[in-house]
Amino acid sequence: MSAVQIDVKYVAHLARINLTPAEEQKLSAQLGNILGYIEKLNEVDVSGVEPTAHAFPLVNVTRADEIQPSLSHADALRNAPAKAAGLFIVPKIVE
């Protein structure tokens, strides 16, 4: 098993996680090690094998389109870090 190089800074950006330089360095080594271990899956012959997304696939789970009780406006907002006038407050998106 050999360590795999990974661009942690780029992947962390994709995941929207800001890392400190020390975290980047530590994660780079640890993830390289874990990915090295994961390489062992290349030993397995998977030709002709269907992927499993769920152990017990229930296909096309549908229900009648009926109005059901749901969260109230106040309950949906009650854990908001910033709110005003019944809305979530977010930083400016459009200039």
Partner 1 sequence: MLNQLTISALSGKLAKREVSAREAAQACLDQIARVDGQIHAFISHDAADALAQADAADKRIAAGDHGPLLGVPIAIKDVLAAKNQPLNCCSKILGKFTSPYDATVIEKLKAAGAIIFGRLNMDEFAMGSSTENSAFGTTRNPWALDRIPGGSSGGSAAAVAADEAIATLGSDTGGSIRQPAALCGCVGLKPTYGRVSRYGLVAFASSLDQIGPFTKDVRDSAIMLEALSGHDRRDSSSVPQAVPNYSAALNGNIKGLKLGLPKEYMIGGLDPEVKASVDAAVKQFQSLGAEIVEISLPHTDYAVATYYIVATAEASANLARFDGIRYGARVDGADPIALYGNTRGQGFGPEVKRRIILGTYVLSSGYYDAYYLRAQKVRTLIRQDFLKAFEKVDAIVTPTTPTAAFKIGEKSDDPLQMYLSDIFTISCNLAGIPGLSLPCGFTKSPKLPIGLQLLGKPFGEETLLKLAHAYEQSTPFHKEKPPLN
Query: And the tokens for 70?
Result: 């749901």
CB of 6 to partner 1, least distance (A): 6
CB of 95 to partner 1, least distance (A): 10
By CB under 8 A, is residue 30 in contact with partner 1? yes
By CB under 8 A, is residue 17 in contact with partner 1? yes
- For partner 1, the binding residue among 2, 5, 21, 41 (CB under 8 A) is 41
HEC sequence for the chain:
CCCCCCCHHHHHHHCCCCCCHHHHHHHHHHHHHHHHHHHHHHHCCCCCCCCCCCCCCCCCCCCCCCCCCCCCHHHHHCCCCCEECCEECCCCCCC
DSSP lists the bridge partners of residue 84 as 87
By CB under 8 A, is residue 19 in contact with partner 1? yes
Question: Contact positions toward partner 1, by CB under 8 A?
Answer: 6, 8, 11-20, 23, 27, 30-31, 33-35, 37-38, 40-44, 46, 49-56, 58, 61, 63, 71, 75-76, 78-82, 88, 90-93
